[in-house]
Amino acid sequence: MTDATRTPARELADDATAEAAQRARETLATQCGTQLPLLAGAALLLLEPASRTAAAWFGVAAVLLLVAGAAVWQFGTERGREDQAGVLLAEYAVLRSVDPGVGRREAADATAEGFVAGRYIAWSLALAAVGLLLAFGQWDQPAWAVPGAVLVVVGAVVHLYAAEREARAGRRWLAGPPGPPRD
């Protein structure tokens, strides 16, 4: 596109805390929707329930709470959003195809490239994780293995959906980023 045919793009304001907070909520939901089911499913698939004590299951619960707490701390609190503001704004701009503004365009371009490349990593990791967990699951205990398999598959589907959404946005961004032409 030339400058004459380029449509004016909405630009993020200098103080785009609402946009960063929105992307943080999306990231928090995706991380919890991915990591918690995968970890819980892996525990149900791999740990033989009869041989584990209550302390072992409390340990599994503690790990799940730790992962959820870390995600909430990083993306659910104002302090965490402040620390991640640049990344969150770049991701928001790419996903919404909005000009991030002066000084933020390079980060958004790099984010778009990362989204496109991340798609292939997401698919390989998800397929490998699901395949290994399902292959080595405790299938002699179907009351534990079947819910574990369902949780693992749900976590992988949520992860792949988010990766595909990001990859589509990244390709759209790289094909024609909003804002002034890049050098």
pLDDT given at position 6: 44
pLDDT given at position 159: 94
Residue 4 lies in a domain: no
Amino acid at 99: D
Based on the structure, what is the number of domains in the chain? Answer: 1
- With left for phi above 0 and alpha for psi between -120 and 50, is residue 176 left, alpha or beta? beta
Give me 182's structure tokens. 């890049």
User: What is the number of alpha carbons within 13 Å of residue 30 lying toward its C-beta?
Assistant: 16
Residue 93 lies in a domain: yes
How far is Cα 117 from Cα 124, in angstroms, rounded to an integer?
12
Q: Judge whether 118 and 166 are in contact, CB under 8 Å.
A: yes
pLDDT given at position 119: 93
pLDDT in single tens digits along all 183 residues of the chain: 444 444 445 665 555 677 778 888 888 899 888 999 999 999 999 887 777 788 888 888 899 999 998 888 888 888 877 888 888 889 999 999 998 888 888 999 999 999 999 999 999 999 999 999 999 999 998 998 999 999 999 999 999 999 999 999 999 999 988 888 776
pLDDT given at position 12: 57
How far is Cα 22 from Cα 114, in angstroms, rounded to an integer?
20
How far is Cα 163 from Cα 115, in angstroms, rounded to an integer?
7
List strand residue ranges (DSSP E) for 120-169, in order: none
Residue 148 lies in a domain: yes
Residue 60 lies in a domain: yes
Residue 183 lies in a domain: no
Residue 55 lies in a domain: yes
Write out the residue range of the structural domain in which residue 94 sits.
17-175
pLDDT given at position 7: 45
Residue 180 lies in a domain: no
Give the contacts of 126 (CB within 8 A, at least 6 positions apart): 156, 159, 160
Give the contacts of 141 (CB within 8 A, at least 6 positions apart): 48, 49, 50
Residue 3 lies in a domain: no
pTM: 0.80
